[in-house]
Chain A
Amino acid sequence: MWQWLYKLGSPRYFYDMTTVFLPWLRGVTYFLLIVGLVWGLGFAPPDYQMKDNYRIIYIHVPTALGAMWVYAMMAAMAAMHMIWNLKLADMVAKSCAWVGASYCAVGLVTGSFWGKPTWGVYWIWDAKLTAMLILFFIYIGVIALRSAFDSETSGSKAASVLTLVGVVNLPIIYYAAQWWNTLHQPPSDLGGSATGANPPEIWIPVFFTGFGLIGLVFLLVILRTRNEILWRERRAQWVQDLVQGEPRRA
């Protein structure tokens, strides 16, 4: 068990393992996403109230939830990096920040395009939206802090500390936003997402896009991490051999 963990922490082992694993992950992810999106856009029955606008939900819900789970993953990696000084954990955390920020942005933008016809406005200061926006700011902060350091190790450590500070803060922020929302009446009524009147078929594509987008998280994180491994291990013999074996491109 410990040996396995130790091996998994080695960048080279991670690289070799993902080389085998990647085509499968890529295939499954693309399959789920294509089925889910085609089904969701064309074949799922329209919502009785929102007509075809609700089709945004198929990408909105998974990306918004994904953005939060990626932060949890990034925080776990940051903790592993701080406690055991595991370099690979930090490389994964660095990849997570970019993927999470992009999911967060997609969640916010698709949410506001869904909100305009549903609520009449692009943006309301609802607890979920506010917390999501702040999550996006924190992602940006982590990325900015890491890139501000010239030294790789200092930047990594600083980003880890900030990530962990953020993880303590996020539940408080969500709670604060929720409390604040009860003080100020939201500008429009939040109804419209009633699901009871809809047939279950409407929700089937969510499972496809949901698992597809989770697969995409892992795919994107792994792809970014592999590049990071090659860069940080550039002096190792195995990377040198790999560079030599790589086919040349114009």
Chain B
Amino acid sequence: MPEFQFDSVADFFAMSGYAFYVWMAYGFFFAVMFWNLIQPRLARRKLMKLLRARQVREQNAAPPVRE
């Protein structure tokens, strides 16, 4: 089993002096992937709202009109 390579948490964040590069790279990676995962969810919510509004509109319309 591999061991934790850093002596302390502060050491871990310091990344032996490369903190800026490592955390900037990982930060960008997490930001993009977070957006990638959240975008479909938001889009789906918006889409459902829109489709439901359409349904309500069509039900209230009398006589029903086919698009």
Direct contact of A and B (CB under 8 A): yes
The interface of chain A, by Cβ under 8 A from chain B, is 39, 41-46, 51-53, 55-56, 59-60, 63, 99, 102, 105-106, 109-110, 113-114, 116-117, 201, 216, 220, 223-224, 226-227, 230-231, 234-235, 239-240, 243-244, 246, 249
Residues of A within 8 A of B44 (CB): 226-227, 230
B60 at the interface (CB under 8 A from A): no
Contact (Cβ within 8 A) B5 A43: yes
10 A-B contacts, Cβ less than 8 Å apart?
Answer: A42-B5, A59-B26, A102-B36, A109-B25, A110-B25, A113-B25, A223-B40, A226-B44, A227-B47, A240-B51
Residues of B within 8 A of A240 (CB): 51, 55
Contact (Cβ within 8 A) A246 B48: yes
Contact (Cβ within 8 A) B18 A53: yes
Contact (Cβ within 8 A) A110 B5: no
Compute how far the CA of A113 lies from the CA of B24 in the bound complex, rounded to whole angstroms.
Answer: 7
Compute how far the CA of A201 lies from the CA of B52 in the bound complex, rounded to whole angstroms.
Answer: 53
Compute how far the CA of A53 lies from the CA of B44 in the bound complex, rounded to whole angstroms.
Answer: 38
Contact (Cβ within 8 A) A220 B36: yes
Task: Please count how many residues in chain B sit with their CB below 8 Å of the partner chain's CB atoms.
Answer: 35
Known: A59-B25, A113-B24, A240-B55. A106 touches B18 (CB 8 A): no
| Majority secondary structure of chain B interface residues (helix, strand, loop or mixed) | helix
If A106-B29, A227-B47 are given as contacts, then 19 extra A-B residue pairs at C-beta distance below 8 Å, sorted by A number, are: A41-B12, A51-B18, A52-B22, A53-B16, A53-B21, A56-B21, A63-B29, A102-B33, A109-B25, A110-B29, A114-B25, A201-B2, A216-B33, A226-B40, A227-B40, A227-B44, A240-B55, A243-B48, A243-B55
Contact (Cβ within 8 A) B15 A53: yes
Compute how far the CA of A227 lies from the CA of B50 in the bound complex, rounded to whole angstroms.
Answer: 12
The interface of chain B, by Cβ under 8 A from chain A, is 2-6, 12, 15-18, 21-22, 24-26, 28-29, 32-33, 35-37, 39-41, 43-45, 47-48, 51-52, 54-55, 67
Contact (Cβ within 8 A) A43 B4: yes
Residues of A within 8 A of B43 (CB): 224, 227
Compute how far the CA of A130 lies from the CA of B26 in the bound complex, rounded to whole angstroms.
Answer: 22
Question: Smallest CB–CB gap between B11 and chain A, Å?
Answer: 10
Instruction: Choose one: B6, B17, B26; the contact of A42 (CB below 8 Å).
Output: B6
Compute how far the CA of A244 lies from the CA of B17 in the bound complex, rounded to whole angstroms.
Answer: 55
A-B residue pairs, 3 tightest by C-beta: A223-B40, A53-B18, A113-B25
Contact (Cβ within 8 A) B28 A42: no
Known: A113-B21, A240-B55. A235 touches B67 (CB 8 A): yes
